[in-house]
Copies of this chain bind each other. A is one copy, B any other.
Amino acid sequence: MPQLTGSIVKYPARNLVVWYLVLIILGTVLLTLPICRGTDAEPISQLDACFTATSASCVTGLAVRSTPHAFSFIGQLVILVLIQIGGIGIMTITTYTLFNLGSKPSLRARAILTETLGADDDTDLKWILRHVLLVTLFSEGTGFIILLLRNAFIYDFPTAAWHALFHSISAFCNAGFALHDDSLVRFQDDVVVNMTISALIIVGGIGFPVLLDLNKNWRKGIFGGWEDLHVHSKFMLIGTTLLLGGGFLIFLLLEWDGVLSEMPLKDKLLVSAFHSVTCRTAGFNTIELSSLTNAMLFISMILMLIGAGPCSTGGGFKVSTVMAMAVNAWRTFRGMTRINFARRTIPEGVMQHAMATALLFTVIAIAALTLLLVLEQSSTPHPNSQGVFLDAAFEVVSALGTVGLSTGFTSTLSTYGRMIIIALMFMGRLGPISVFVALSHTTNKTPVEYPKEEPLIG
């Protein structure tokens, strides 16, 4: 039975949940203050403030109120601080949690994780936080300078600086909040903005362990360095490249006669590339999502589900999970009993963990979508409620993957619908397993070994 007693500090996952709850509550209170309200904007309800605070803290980007109009400069600043704390917090704590998974990680497990992280054995929370801050500051700083130079051509200095700061932080944290109601549609054909935001999204989304590993090995040159990378880093780099390339090509193909049809070739390429980058977890957009074809919206949902890397600012199943599944499937089809990749053997427990993650994710998504469909359209039969299914499914996946893209369904949501999306953003950000583990009681006993017996599969 789940057990809610026990010290909070004892369980890092429980710690994480409490930490984010406090951040969200604080954000909600601040955002309801009149000083955070935009000029001429209607007062914000408690629920919408909570929605916005959750969306910012969990770096999702779904919005029920317009960021540029419903909030004052102070309000936008609150949102930005929530994004920054949420983004850094998640990278730091999830990395730290890896070192303390379960109550007493075995020395061997700890050694492997330390090795994977490329850190010293006495790595502690402070060490991790310091390095995360360094990476964040360096990335956001670079992004800020480039965007500032670009914005200087369009806006007066304070506006240019504020926009550059907001968007570079929002991009690195994969938050998807923008200071324009059209997200980044106005920069659709702007190479500099597209490249800068894309780079920030990718660096923020690939995950802290990969960045550390790359930093340790890049001096050895491309080939020598590649050899020495950890399996996790190879999974992330190969997977990310395949997904970026695949997403780009599929968008180009599926939308060539669709939204891309009127654009010059350069913009066709730019829009496709940006969508491929932003879709897995960032949540900015340079085209109207509701004008895409059903096929492309469906592929976008798959990309949103896959998401970014562990210990990153991105969400989803995680690229490394999907890579592990793919390698496992390939080896299994070939009749191999051992899962090897790049001269390393992947322990069997990894597949059990991956499977548990995938299953919990799926069950939550199914339950949430069903509930949302019931709440938003009650007993309306299918022929009278066409289109709602895709919109609702897109919204659920977007929230659970902390992506923030929407076909426009967010603003039409009822009170209960908003609550479901808030819960999904929260679970998606902390990882459903963290939430589950936090609420349940982990045992340390190693179970008895019984005679082996296989059920029949597939």
A interface, CB within 8 angstroms of B: 98, 102-103, 112-113, 115-116, 207, 209, 230-232, 235, 254-259, 261, 290-295, 297-299, 302, 309-311, 317-318, 320-321, 323-326, 328-329, 331-340, 343-360, 366, 369-370, 373-374, 377-383, 385-390, 392, 407, 431, 433, 436-437, 440, 442-458
Expressed in whole angstroms, the minimum distance between the Cβ of A232 and any Cβ of chain B is 4
Given contacts A387-B386, A448-B340, A449-B338, contact A318 B373 (CB under 8 A): no
With beta carbons under 8 angstroms apart, the residue of B256, B334, B382 that contacts A440 is B334
Besides the known contacts A254-B370, A334-B442, 19 further A-B residue pairs in the complex with CB atoms under 8 A apart: A112-B452, A113-B454, A232-B454, A254-B374, A257-B378, A257-B379, A261-B379, A290-B381, A290-B382, A291-B383, A294-B380, A298-B373, A317-B458, A332-B356, A340-B447, A344-B452, A347-B452, A348-B348, A355-B355
What are 19 contact pairs spanning A and B, CB under 8 A? Answer: A102-B335, A112-B454, A116-B453, A257-B379, A259-B381, A293-B380, A293-B385, A297-B382, A333-B436, A333-B440, A336-B445, A340-B447, A345-B452, A345-B453, A351-B352, A354-B457, A354-B458, A387-B389, A431-B458
Give the shortest distance, in Å, between A206 (CB) and chain B (any CB).
12
Residues of chain B lying within 8 A (CB to CB) of residue A231: 453-455
A409: min CB distance to chain B, Å: 11
B235 & A455 in contact (Cβ 8 Å cutoff): yes
Report whether B112 and A453 are in contact in the complex, using a CB–CB cutoff of 8 Å.
Answer: yes
B258 A379 Cβ-Cβ under 8 A: yes
Contacts of A444 in B (CB 8 A): 335
Task: Please name all residues of chain B whose beta carbon is closer than 8 Å to the beta carbon of A360 when the two chains form the complex.
Answer: 329, 333
In the complex, what residues of B have CB within 8 A of residue A370's CB?
254, 295, 298-299
- Given contacts A294-B377, A328-B355, whether A457 and B337 have CB atoms under 8 Å apart is no
Number of chain copies forming the complex: 2
Contact status of A357 and B458, CB under 8 A, knowing A370-B298, A446-B337, A451-B345: yes
For residue A369, give the distance in angstroms from its CB to the closest CB of chain B: 6
From the candidates B377, B431, B447, B458, name the one contacting A433 in the complex (CB within 8 A). B458
Residues of B within 8 A of A235 (CB): 455
Docked pose: A433 CA to B457 CA in angstroms: 11
Cα distance A378–B27 when bound, in Å? 44
A291 to B102, CA, bound (A): 48
Whether A338 and B446, one on each chain, are in contact in the complex, defined by CB atoms closer than 8 angstroms, is yes
Q: Which of B207, B359, B386, B449 contacts A326 (CB 8 A)?
A: B359
Instruction: Establish whether residues B388 and A294, one from each chain, have CB atoms under 8 Å apart when the complex forms.
Output: yes
